[in-house]
Amino acid sequence: MMFYDIKKILYVSDLEQGSRPAFRAAISLCGHYSEAQITYLHVIESLSGTTRSVLSNMMEKEELDNLLQKGVEALSVKIRERIERFCEQELEEHEVLSLKNIEARIEEGTPWRRILEVGDEINADVIVMGTRKHNALGQALMGSTATKALTHSKRPVLVVPLGVA
């Protein structure tokens, strides 16, 4: 696969501060193709059985589902605002990518599995994700999500180093 053939990019975000370099990398891969499409994905870790059971003792199932749904809707708004802000601040006028080229998605599940499933579903040409240094010594250890996605993916994965978490 040649990078100039990239039409579909799956960009994975943890929504933490400092993840912009990875988004910038995803956008630069688009080059000057107006038909290039970025799917901006955020995966919410599923509630564990224990957490769900504790919560179900405190509220009705319907109430819990409504609460989770409201949370997902609020996150969708936050992601859309973040994308718009990025486009306003970072995209230069000659860059053809626009908001219509970016789709936001929020999924629930085991992050690395959902990333690969969405990659297959949209037939992504490449998956772009950041990874952070997770220890005080600053050793460049790849996060477990990035490592697992990289290990199990049948698609090219571009991992962008970010700051310390």
Single pTM value for the model: 0.78
Strand order in the sheet with 126-133: 102-108, 37-44, 8-12, 126-133, 157-164
What is the reported pLDDT for 10? 95
Q: Which amino acid is at 62?
A: E
Closest CA to 159 of 118, 105, 115, 123: 115
For residue range 71-93, list pLDDT tens digits in order.
Answer: 888 888 888 888 888 777 777 66
pLDDT tens digit at each of 165 positions of the chain: 455 578 899 999 887 778 888 888 888 877 656 678 899 998 888 777 787 788 878 888 888 888 888 988 888 888 888 888 877 777 766 555 666 788 888 888 889 999 999 999 999 999 999 887 665 544 444 568 888 999 999 999 999 888 755
Q: Which amino acid is at 99?
A: L
CA dist., res. 92 & res. 125, Å (int): 24
